[in-house]
Amino acid sequence: MHYGGDYNPEQWPEDVWPEDIERMREAGVTMVSLGIFAWSRIQPAEGVFDFDWLDRIIGLLHEGGIAVDLATATASPPPWVSATYPEVLPQDENGATYWPGSRQAFAPTSPVYRSLAAALVTRLAERYAQHPAVVMWHVNNEYGCHLNLDYSDAAQGAFRLWLENRYGGIDALNEAWGTFFWSQRYGSFAEVFPPRKAPYSHNPGQLLDYRRFTSDALLECYLMEKEIIRAARATQPVTTNFMGAFKPADYWRWAAEMDVITDDCYPDPNDPESFRASAFARDLMRSLKPDVPWLLMEQSSNALNWRPTNAPKAPGQMAALSMQAVARGADGILFFQWRQSRAGAEKFHSAMLPHAGTDTRTWREVTGLGAELAALPELPRGSRDAQVAIVFDWENWWAIENPDHPVALDYLALVQRWHAAVHRKHTQVDLVRASADLSGYRLVIAPQLYLLPEDGAANLRDFALAGGHLLVTAFSDLVDEHDRFREGGFLTQLGPLLGVRVEDFGALVSPGADAPGQAIAPFTGPFGEVTGTLLAEEIHVETATVLGSFAGGRLDGRPAFTQRAVGDGRAYYLATIPDAAGTASVAGHLLAEAGIAPVVGGLPERGLPETVEAIRRGDVVTVINHGAESAEFALAGTDLQSGETVASVTLAPFEYRLIRES
C-alpha cells in the first residue's frame, strides 16, 4: 500500500529537506511523486542541465526509506522555451495564443515541444533508470488538463497527417464526413483545418475526428516518453495521472499503454452527494485495468483553492474518501501535495504538511491514515466482483455532444445517474465498453449509446442471447463511427433484438408562452412511477412486451418501456430518459429481475441508508458512512483493523470498516 504525495522540493531551501523526510516518516509516507513541475529547475536554459539537486534529494529520500515516483517534468515548459520557440504555444479556436505565465502552455503536437521534452526525458531516464529509489515513472501530468483542445498551426499540420493516415485518400474523408452537404467537399488534405471558429455549425464528422485526433496526439506524447524511458532500460512501471472521466482523452485506449492506472480526484467536500461522483471515478479506474491495482495519485488533505469557494473537508472525510478508493481496488493513497506551498497560485491548497504546522487537524488525520494503511493486511487483487456493468464510451461521448441534435444531452451526467442508482442500492458495478467481455455480468445498462459500432452492437446482442439482461435507452444506435445515420432508419442494429422500431425522438421542451410544449413524460408499471425527461420517443412495438406506457401528453398510451425475452436473456428498451428517481425505480426493477443481490445480502431491507456504501474487493467488504447520521446493520466477519469477529457494524459519520466475510 503506497502512501504519500507530490513532492516539490525545488520550492524550498535545501535545509528544509531533512525535516521533510523526517516528517514523511512520521506520517507513514512510502512514496513521493518527485519533480512534476521542475523542468525550469532541472534545465534552467537550453543545453544547461542541473541534476545535482535532484541527485541529492533522491539520495536523501532513499536513505529515509521513501520510494520515488519520478516525474519526467515535461508538463510545464520553462519560460525560455516559449521565448526561444514561440511556436510551441497553443491557441484557442479564435487563434488567440495561450501565453506563458501559468503552467502547461504547450501544443502537444509541436515538434519543438516534443524534441525538447524528449531531450529532457532522455537525460532523466539515463541518469535514474537504475536508481534503487525510483519505483515508478510519472510521465508529464494530467495530459489535456486546462487546454482540452489546441487549434494551433502545429495542430493543423498534425491533424492533416492524422487524417491522411486514417483515410488514405481525400475521397474516403469526403465520404466519411458527408462533405457534399453545404459544399464542404475537399480537394486535398491541405484544405482541411482544425474546427476553428466558423460562421455556423461545423461538420460533425470533423468535430468527432478532431476529438479522436486530440486524444491520440496526447497519447503520442505519453508513448514518446515511455519509449525513451524503456530505451534507457528502465524496468519500473510507467504511468501518467488520469482525471476520472475526462472528456478529451479516451482512457479505454490509453489504459492499454499504462502499466498501472493512477487517478487524481477532488470531490467537493461541501456537496453531500459528491461521494457518488468519486465512487464513479474509482469504479472507472478499477474497470480500466481490472487485474492491476490502481493508485489514487492525487487528492486533497483538506480544502482546495480552485473552486469559487473552497470548503474544508469535515473531520474524517478525507480518510472515508481514501477508503472509497482502497475498497475499489486502489493500492495507494497519495495527495497533492506533501508540503503546502508558500508562494504561487496554489498556496491556499491544503497539503499533507500544512503551512500552519503539525499541531493541526490535517496533520493528525494525515498521520492517522498513514498508520492505518500501513497496518492493513494485503487486500485481494484483480477480483471481479460486479454482476452489473454500465456502458461508458468516449467516442459516443464526443459524438452525442456534437451540436444540432433534438436536445442537448450531458452524456457523463446521464451515465453517472445510472451508476448512482445502482450505487444507492449497495450493488457493485463496473464500467465497460460495448465491445468488452461481458460474460461475467448478469445486467448490462447501456445509456444513450448514440454512436454504436458494429462490434459493440453484436457483442451486446450476444450478451442478451447468452442469458444476460440488457437495457438499451433512448437515443441509442443511431449513427456509425463517422456520426452518419445508418441505412434503414434508427436502432437498426439492436431493434430486432429489442423488438421495437423508433419512428421519432420527440424532444421534451418546457412549455413556452406561445407554443404549448411538454416538459416531462410520466409512465408507471411494476417498477413504480417514472418521470421521463428530455426525450419521449415515438416507438412501435413489434415483438416486445410493453412494461409501461406514457400517460397524458402527446404520446398518451404509447409504449415507454418494453421488454423482450431473447435466447436465455432479456432485452429492455426505455424510450425516454428518466429523472434520478425514475432511474432508481427502473434500476431497482432490473436488478431484481436479473436476480442481483447487493454487496451485503439484504442490506436495503435492513434499512441501510443510501449514504452508506458497501463495496466488495474479493472477500473483503468495505462499508463507509458518508452521511450525517450513524448507521447500524448486520455484517458478519473479521474486522481487518481490530482483528475482532463481528456480527454487526455501527458507523458514525465518515466511519468505515473493512470486514473479511466469514
**Cβ 37 to ligand GLA, closest distance in Å?**
7
Q: How far is the CB of 259 from ligand GLA (least distance, A)?
A: 19
Nearer to ligand GLA, 249 or 608 (CB): 249
Write down the least CB distance from residue 142 to ligand GLA, Å: 5
Residues in the chain: 662
Annotated active-site residue in 142, 225, 537, 655: 142
Place of cell 512501471: 237
CB 215 within 8 A of CB 250: yes
Residue 18, φ and ψ in degrees, nearest 5: -60, -35
Residue carrying the nine cell digits 483538506: 302
State the catalytic residue, choosing from 10, 26, 175, 298. 298
d(CA 537, CA 473): 10
CA torsion, points 11, 14, 20, 25, in degrees to nearest 10? 140
Nearer to ligand GLA, 5 or 293 (CB): 5
611, 625 Cβ separation under 8 angstroms: yes
CB neighbours of residue 200 within 10 Å: 7
Q: Please say which residue, 26 or 268, places its beta carbon nearer to ligand GLA.
A: 268
User: Is 487 an active-site residue?
Assistant: no
In the complex with ligand GLA, which residue's Cβ is closer, 325 or 591? Answer: 325
Name every residue whose Cβ is closer than 8 Å to that of residue 69 and which is 6 or more positions away in sequence.
31, 32, 33, 34, 134, 135, 136, 137, 138
Number of Cβ within 10 Å of residue 355's Cβ equals: 13
Nearer Cβ to ligand GLA (3/143): 143
Rounded to the nearest 5°, which phi and psi values hold at 306? Answer: -105, 0
Return the number of the residue (298 or 393) whose C-beta is nearest ligand GLA. 298
Least distance (Å) from ligand GLA to the CB of residue 258?
Answer: 16
Q: 586-604: b or e for each residue (b if 16 or more CB lie within 10 Å)?
A: bbbbbbebbebebbbeebe
Please give the single-letter amino acid code of residue 404: D
Per the annotation, the verdict on 538 as an active-site residue is no
Of the pair 296, 586, the CB lying nearest ligand GLA is at 296
- Closest contact distance (angstroms) between CB of 265 and ligand GLA is 9
3-state SS class at 238: strand
Q: Nine-digit cell at 170?
A: 481525400
Please give the residue ranges that form the binding site for ligand GLA (CB under 6 A): 141-142, 264, 266, 298, 304, 336, 346, 349
Task: Name the residue among 443, 456, 452, 541 with its Cα closest to residue 498.
Answer: 541
- Phi, psi of 48, rounded to the nearest 5 degrees: -110, 115
CA distance 582 to 573: 15
Least separation, in Å, of the C-beta of 263 and ligand GLA? 10
Q: How far is the CB of 221 from ligand GLA (least distance, A)?
A: 16
**Whether 533 contacts 553, CB under 8 Å:** no
Distance CA 185, CA 168 (A): 16
The gap between the terminal CA atoms of the chain, to the nearest Å, is: 24
Least spacing, CB of residue 266 vs ligand GLA, in Å:
5
Closest to ligand GLA by CB, 143 or 463 = 143
Catalytic amino acids?
Answer: 142, 298
